[in-house]
Structure 1
Amino acid sequence: MIEFKVDGDHIPLIQLLKATNLVQTGGEAQIVVTEGQVMYNGHVDYRKRLKVRRGDTVEFAGEVIRVI
């Protein structure tokens, strides 16, 4: 499990995937989101501009990110 501390109110999902090094580029992040490879709080989510907040979990490529 990866624990990611968010500064401020939220972090966009695309930026979170890049910041945790699960993808290399924003373009790659957009592709995996639109292909339904990312789960947000236990459900597949296709929103590229999703705002991830403290207490949320994101799953991708066998990794779980908990936002704190």
Structure 2
Amino acid sequence: MIKFKINSEFITLGQFLKANSYIGSGGEAKFFLLENDVFVNREKRTERGKKLYNGDQVSYGKDEYLIVYDKKASS
């Protein structure tokens, strides 16, 4: 599992997808989530604005991430 560090209370699913280069822009998030199976805490999600908090798990394909709050992390 890959640790994905955030330096704020939360990050949206759309921001997460962009930060991990699954999409090129925030506008692509809606279509990406409709066409691909992305899971947050083992539940399929299609909302690009879904808030991800410390301890949440995100998976797409074989990639699995753990959201970790780190106030020193760069955004």
Three-state SS of the structure 2 residue aligned to 1:8 is: coil
Runs of 4+ residues deviating >6 angstroms: none
**Counterpart in 2 of 1:63?**
63
Write out per-residue CA displacement over residues 27-49 of structure 1, whole angstroms, 9 at most, x where no aligned residue: 33221212352111001012121
Are residues 1:45 and 2:45 paired?
A: yes
Where structure 1 has 5 or more consecutive residues not aligned to the other structure, the ranges are none
Whether the 8 Å CA contact 1:36–1:45 is kept in 2: the answer is no
TM-score w.r.t. structure 2 length?
0.76
Tell me how far apart the structure 2 counterparts of residues 23 and 3 of structure 1 sit (CA, whole Å): 19
| Number of equivalent positions | 68
Where structure 2 has 5 or more consecutive residues not aligned to the other structure, the ranges are 69-75
Larger relative strand fraction: 2
RMSD of equivalent CA atoms: 1.6
Structure whose alpha-carbon radius of gyration is higher: 2
TM-score w.r.t. structure 1 length?
0.83
Three-state SS of the structure 2 residue aligned to 1:55 is: coil
1:64 deviation in Å? 0.8
